[in-house]
Structure 1
Amino acid sequence: MLRNALQGLTVVDFTQIAAGPTCTMLLADMGARVIKVEAPEGDLGRTLGPAWIGDDSALYHGFNRGKEGLCLDLKNPRALAVAKRLVAEADVLIESMRPGVMARLGLGFEAVAALNPALVYCSISAYGHQGPYADRAGVDGILQADSGLMSLIGIPGAPPCKVQAPVVDVVTGYMACMAILAKLQARHRDGQGGHLDVSLMNSALALQQSSISSYLRDGELPTPIGSAAPYSAPNEAFQTEDGWMMVAAYNGNRWERLCTLLGYPEWAGDPRFASSAQRVLHRAEMQEALTGVFRTQSTAYWLEQLRAADILCAKVADYGDLLNHPQLAENGMLASIEHPRHGTLRVPGFPVNSAEAARQPYKPAPDKGEHSRELLAEMGFSELEVAEMLDSGAVVAA
């Protein structure tokens, strides 16, 4: 099963908050041993709340399950020696510091590759390691703005909006995971590692494949249009008697069935609505017509009618609705993690073959420095050396 696919692979994780931890969490979910290296102050993601689980944020627990925790002050030479010994035997190193920081610490790609030529070294940064913005920091919201993504979101005339979930961070983590797996496959052939440069900027652009492709063709700047798709109609949310639902009936057969179901078969032949392209051009008139009918009945009524006619639809759900979604339990996508101090924690699970994946228990996110002592002993440091490093602050243990 996929949860065991990467057993035997060791990953050293120098990342924090969301993008890098998403990548290393996926690798851990697939069986890799992930050693999370934190500074003495810990992953910044631990502080980003509410909500809280003990002293750490729920966000931290959501992105860091299945890892082992090692806490090092990399500015201390003794801690740096620990880090070098660790990466010398690893398969993958992933870091999300500003370009140049790892090199100044003595852990840049060239230095580490000299210790371990087979190492796959993945860097995650805001803009990449080359170019005029290489030294700029950035987080999810900044890249949603700078990449143009925010220009697509919201309703006309409203202030700028962003996707509340950190979609750029998360898709960057998936991109990094994909790149690492591809590089590991190449390593099977030639035995060589290499440097992967993954940026939030490029990932944000990849999210906008359709919109950017359209703009490159016609030069028309996209603008916010609420829930609608700019390339098809109807493909948007409509108000009902008691809420909102999403309806996608933009191909010919479904549009005709929708018109008949609503009692207005003549709409299908109306020149304004005869094709999806025409409906996009006359979206306001189409929305007014459809909303006038949809507002006469409840969401539940319309969902039953639309599904019976094989018209794509869904309630615009909140998270309370989501937790009661009949497919959620079947998919096994909500994972339960048994934490030794906090009891049962629930987080989104591994998204591929998730029902199968849920049958194998997930390990909780590590406390800061939770496995420091064990890892140092495993690397061959004596009890005296471990005690000295702990006393000096080079290493922090839970």
Structure 2
Amino acid sequence: MPHLPASSALQRFRVVDLTQVRAGPTACRQLADWGADVIQVQMPEHMRGDDTLGGQDGSDYQYTHRNKRSITLNLKEEEGVATLKRLIAKADVVVENFRPDVKFRLGIDYETLAEDNPGLVYASISGFGQSGPLASRPGFDQIAQGMGGLMSVTGLPGDGPVRVGIPIADLCAGIFAAQGILVALLEREASGRGQWLHTSLIEAMVYMMDFQTSRYLIDGEVGTQAGNFHPTSIPTGVYKARDGYINIAVFGSKIWERFCHILGAPEWIEDARYHDKASRSVNRDALNAEIDRRLAAHDRSHWIEQFNAGGVACGLISDMREVFEEPQIQHLGMVKHVVSPRLGPQRLVGQPMQLERTPSTIARAAPRRGEHTEEVLAELGIGPDDLARMKATGVY
């Protein structure tokens, strides 16, 4: 089956996906979801290592590789590499997450490929960058979370570092790579030239530290664990109502005054312990304990209604079942439906932004390894006899 674009937005672009695991496949999924013809290149079945996310029929793999086509090529065979180069010569984008030296050894680095395809946008994702003292070190999400500073500010004070519950360094590196690809494609419209772009898990993680970086670089402050409470804006964090926990966010003096009135404590507005942001920070433990005491008078639903009606942000702390039962999430249409030829109907989360004229959908379930090899190679002009020979000799 030929390319089925998930959107008309990027359907004119062809992307060769040479990535494995999560960061690279995430970048390519972003492009596929907006209509690019993403061709995933995998090792033949008899050569494959543990390069899939929970197995090809697993939910993780199905989510990450939807809207793509899959071919297999043996890059240990000279003809396999030659066929890959033939595919790339007609592509707009290549995405790879090999160790930095592998692409040069195979002769599929940017400079080599750009000789035949000067408009090529070539994206590399690594653990620590393409050069420097740690460039050859293997990268892994949790390693980047630790080295990038995230684990030092996550968790309860005194309990030791805590990882985030999703592979945030992988995901952010993939999303940043996709953004870089789109920037390079836009620039190509002006210059007519492609370029090499690269990001890494560690760069993504440091960038995502956001205000914690400016607290250090500008103010000289080293952030520490603040648990479930905002490190600088008090009171903002997790509080306990009569029947469970809620999040409350109080930013600014006006919101603080509204919060005090709703909670039935208008005297706090003039209380020297809580009068301004600095005082509330010094006395945060006493304030938080008093807030919990007052919240215990009513259930979560009462406080969520009261605070939001008064302009104070407040919400449930939901597990995944509760997330997808939330009427607002249902209204936003974030769950998309697709039918896998072998696994049946599936529900998957779609893109988190809406383009009204060129929306994204899920047009194709994740492919099986090599499902589209002969289809894609035939598009390159390789005939049936050569395809049969290549298969017999292990090229794909």
The verdict on a shared fold, with TM-score over 0.5 as the criterion, is yes
Supply the distance in 2 between the matched residues of 1:39 and 1:239 (Cα, whole angstroms): 52
Unaligned runs of 5+ in 1: none
Residue 316, structure 1, aligned to residue 317, structure 2: yes
Supply the distance in 2 between the matched residues of 1:250 and 1:277 (Cα, whole angstroms): 13
2:157–2:227 contact (8 Å) kept in structure 1: yes
Alignment of 1:145-164 (within 5 A): 145-164=146-165
Residue 25, structure 1, aligned to residue 29, structure 2: yes
Determine what percentage of the aligned residue pairs are the same residue. Answer: 36
1:9 paired residue among 2, 10, 13: 13
| Partner residue, 1:353 | 354
Q: CA deviation at 1:327?
A: 1.1
1:350–1:357 contact (8 Å) kept in structure 2: no
Alignment of 1:217-228 (within 5 A): 217-228=218-229
Q: CA deviation at 1:56?
A: 2.8
Q: CA deviation at 1:376?
A: 1.3
Supply the distance in 2 between the matched residues of 1:334 and 1:126 (Cα, whole angstroms): 31
Q: CA deviation at 1:42?
A: 4.9
| Partner residue, 2:330 | 329
| Partner residue, 1:241 | 242
2:20–2:52 contact (8 Å) kept in structure 1: no
TM-score (norm 1): 0.93
Residue 307, structure 1, aligned to residue 308, structure 2: yes
RMSD: 1.9
| Partner residue, 2:52 | 46
1:332–1:354 contact (8 Å) kept in structure 2: no
Structure 1 residues 357 and 183 mapped into 2: Cα distance closer, same or farther (>3 Å)? closer
Q: CA deviation at 1:248?
A: 0.7
1:68 aligned counterpart, secondary structure: strand
Q: CA deviation at 1:94?
A: 0.6
Residue range with higher mean Cα deviation, 289-298 or 83-92: 289-298
Q: CA deviation at 1:357?
A: 7.1
Number of matched pairs: 390
**2:99 partner letter:** R
| Cα offsets for 1:94-116 (capped at 9, x unmatched) | 10111011111111112111121
| Cα offsets for 1:305-354 (capped at 9, x unmatched) | 21221210001111111011111121111111211111111111011117
2:7–2:360 contact (8 Å) kept in structure 1: no
Alignment of 1:203-218 (within 5 A): 203-218=204-219
1:36 paired residue among 37, 40, 50: 40
1:335–1:358 contact (8 Å) kept in structure 2: no
Supply the distance in 2 between the matched residues of 1:211 and 1:73 (Cα, whole angstroms): 45
Q: CA deviation at 1:358?
A: 6.9
Supply the distance in 2 between the matched residues of 1:356 and 1:345 (Cα, whole angstroms): 25
1:11 aligned counterpart, secondary structure: strand
2:6–2:362 contact (8 Å) kept in structure 1: no
TM-score (norm 2): 0.94
Supply the distance in 1 between the matched residues of 2:277 and 2:9 (Cα, whole angstroms): 44
1:245–1:313 contact (8 Å) kept in structure 2: yes
Structure 1 residues 339 and 43 mapped into 2: Cα distance closer, same or farther (>3 Å)? farther
2:203 aligned counterpart, secondary structure: helix
1:18–1:45 contact (8 Å) kept in structure 2: no
**1:327 partner letter:** Q
Q: CA deviation at 1:44?
A: 4.4
Q: CA deviation at 1:45?
A: 5.3
Supply the distance in 2 between the matched residues of 1:362 and 1:25 (Cα, whole angstroms): 12
Runs of 4+ in structure 1 deviating by more than 3 angstroms, as ranges, are 41-45, 354-361
Supply the distance in 1 between the matched residues of 2:394 and 2:373 (Cα, whole angstroms): 12
2:94–2:122 contact (8 Å) kept in structure 1: yes
Supply the distance in 2 between the matched residues of 1:22 and 1:276 (Cα, whole angstroms): 40
1:4 aligned counterpart, secondary structure: coil
Q: CA deviation at 1:391?
A: 1.6
Q: CA deviation at 1:221?
A: 2.1
